[in-house]
Structure 1
Amino acid sequence: MSVSEISGRAGRADWLRDVLPKLVLSPSFALVLIFVYGFIVFTFYLSFTDSRILPSFGLVGWQNYTRLFSLRAWDIAVKNVLIFGSLYILICCVLGLALAILLDQKIRAEGFIRTIYLYPMALSFIVTGTAWKWFLDPGIGLEAVVRSWGWTSFEFDWIKSSDMAIYTIVIAAVWQTSGFVMAMFLAGLRGIDNEVMKAAQIDGASNWALYRRIVIPQLRPAFMSAFVVLAHMAIKSYDLIIALTGGGPGTATELPATFMYSYTFTRNQMGIGAASATIMLMAIAAIMVPYLWSELREKK
């Protein structure tokens, strides 16, 4: 075999190694491009049309957005997502950090306790919503059980109250997600250099000062990751609300995701539904893009 044939075969083998992964991944890439980004662009286009029960291509400019921001239901949805999102993120971060610090003390049965904390995250939001709906129902849940024990004046009917129902969503969401946040913080704690902590302890730093001045500042990446994940989940929350309260009582627990579904598939206002979906996408992008940009800049 000549040198030219050997080099030709080697060149074809190198070409095949370069091309084969692209050929294998190209169908998945094409499907993602069409069914994710393609439909995002299509939804954005529908938000500028007079679409109702079916897509339409009659452009109406910013009319759907004007109507959207004039709807009281949308105002309630935005107010609710601000309440839910702020409490959800704050409580999950505080509780997750506290649980992570507890497990970082090398306690007994750490693996078992960590599994217990993480277990709720393995459940779907539908299961969580249904379970907490039963638990919070005054007729069969916590209130009924406590009253059966003799405390007949005990009341816990938040799920039936227009003013308090949104906080039941917070309770259920925190229960499901705080273990996941705990795992993120625990990974951050285990990555801190022990020599720095030992040096601070030798210098006489108290445990409070140690965590406040050394440990917590070094958990900034974990805090940022937790904030991005939780904010993203809060904005697009749908199945938990549907299973727990159905958006009620009335519209007391209406969120942008339930509003979008209602106006698109129940009230046959596809243009307004597409406009609300576009606003949700922009809100998520406003959180994700700066985070990704800062991460890429730090890597460079």
Structure 2
Amino acid sequence: MTAPGAVTTAKTTLQDLLPKIVLAPSFAIILVFVYGFIIFTGFLSFSGSKLLPDFSTWVGFENYVRLFRHPNWIVSLQNLAIFSVLYIVICSVIGLGLAILLDQKIRGEGFLRPIYLYPMALSFIVTGVAWKWFLDPGIGLEHAMHQIGWESFSFRWIKDRDFAIYTIVIAAIWQSSGFVMAMFLAGLRGVDNEIIKAAQIDGASTFMIYRRIIIPLMRPVFLSAFVVLAHLAIKSYDLVVAMTDGGPGTSTWTPALFMTKFTFGRNEMGMGAASAMVMMMMIFAIIVPYLYSELGGHKK
């Protein structure tokens, strides 16, 4: 017969090992297909790979030098800067405004909240196609205005090299503002009511309560919203492809689009990998300080 102590020990060991056994396959998959391919891309960026990976030819930092001398990459960075700043700032302002509006316990909150959140349920491809049709002068807003008699109305930003990038900003804001609103609304609902009641007793107005008490307490929510939006901005690809495919010309190219076109369209796998590594460094530059501040805050 097996001793009771041995059975108990075996059960305890199995209980300790079971979570590790369950998590092991997913951990292995992540290790290979995420971190493994990051390392693989890093090696590619230092190689002379063209159509296919070629590790027999090492060029060092030549791909990175060529990358930052390429005019299309410079345009992509400029577009990313315009897109990121406008996208993050306007989404944050609209999201906070909508959250404050809903936080007033207005009638129909349960009806309005899903309306604001609905765009986030759509993929960026669907959003891009819808806004492409809406902004197309031949079938969209301009055509509709002409049909009702406003012949002088003109809105051709999506066809204008100088303004096309702003149409992508508009579509991205439309999709993401509701998500940011939900983040801010959760933060607002998490503020201690006792603090607000104390401020009201002291005679503080609603505006002052939000400005001096509630919004400063929501610093972690602002930081989280910034990280999420910045991450989406850097990876922006499908929305751009669906709306303009980088056009007119290269006026709406972004780093993600540059990477795809040079890797698969122009057989410059080495330089495409270099652009991917630069994009990863951009994301790390946002994520690492965020994680450091969060983990540092918990340690305190």
Q: Common fold, TM-score beyond 0.5?
A: yes
Q: What residue identity is the alignment partner of 2:11?
A: A
Alignment of 1:111-260 (within 5 A): 111-260=110-259
Structure 1 residue 193 displacement after superposition: 1.2
Aligned to 1:28: 26
- Rounded to whole Å, the distance in 2 between the matches of 1:157 and 1:130 is 16
- Rounded to whole Å, the distance in 1 between the matches of 2:16 and 2:206 is 55
Unaligned runs of 5+ in 1: none
- Rounded to whole Å, the distance in 2 between the matches of 1:235 and 1:220 is 22
Which of these residues, 3, 6, 12, is aligned with residue 4 of structure 2? 6
Structure 1 residue 202 displacement after superposition: 2.2
Q: What residue identity is the alignment partner of 1:83?
A: I
Which of these residues, 46, 50, 53, is aligned with residue 51 of structure 2? 53
**Secondary structure, in 3 states, of the residue corresponding to 2:218?**
helix
**Secondary structure, in 3 states, of the residue corresponding to 1:242?**
helix
Listed one character per residue, the Cα deviations across residues 56-107 of structure 1 (whole Å, up to 9, x for unaligned) are 1111110000000000000000000000000000000000000000000101
Structure 1 residue 28 displacement after superposition: 1.1
Q: What residue identity is the alignment partner of 1:256?
A: P
**Secondary structure, in 3 states, of the residue corresponding to 1:29?**
helix
Structure 1 residue 207 displacement after superposition: 2.2
Q: What residue identity is the alignment partner of 1:44?
A: G
**Secondary structure, in 3 states, of the residue corresponding to 1:154?**
coil
Alignment of 1:99-114 (within 5 A): 99-114=98-113
- Rounded to whole Å, the distance in 2 between the matches of 1:209 and 1:109 is 26
Which of these residues, 24, 38, 41, is aligned with residue 40 of structure 1? 38
- Rounded to whole Å, the distance in 2 between the matches of 1:14 and 1:209 is 57
Structure 1 residue 111 displacement after superposition: 1.4
TM-score by length of 2: 0.98
- Rounded to whole Å, the distance in 2 between the matches of 1:270 and 1:194 is 56
Structure 1 residue 200 displacement after superposition: 1.5
Number of residue equivalences: 298
**Secondary structure, in 3 states, of the residue corresponding to 1:249?**
coil
Structure 1 residue 155 displacement after superposition: 0.7
Listed one character per residue, the Cα deviations across residues 11-66 of structure 1 (whole Å, up to 9, x for unaligned) are 01111111122112111111110011000000011000000000011111100000
Structure 1 residue 299 displacement after superposition: 1.4
**Secondary structure, in 3 states, of the residue corresponding to 1:60?**
coil
- Structure 1 residues 72-81 or 208-217, which shifts more? 208-217
- Rounded to whole Å, the distance in 2 between the matches of 1:26 and 1:190 is 38
- Structure 1 residues 204-213 or 39-48, which shifts more? 204-213
- Rounded to whole Å, the distance in 2 between the matches of 1:53 and 1:205 is 66
RMSD (CA atoms): 0.9
Structure 1 residue 150 displacement after superposition: 1.2
- Rounded to whole Å, the distance in 2 between the matches of 1:18 and 1:268 is 50
TM-score by length of 1: 0.98
- Rounded to whole Å, the distance in 2 between the matches of 1:197 and 1:256 is 45
Which stretches of structure 1, 4 residues or more, deviate above 6 A after TM superposition?
none
Structure 1 residue 109 displacement after superposition: 1.8
Q: What residue identity is the alignment partner of 1:279?
A: V
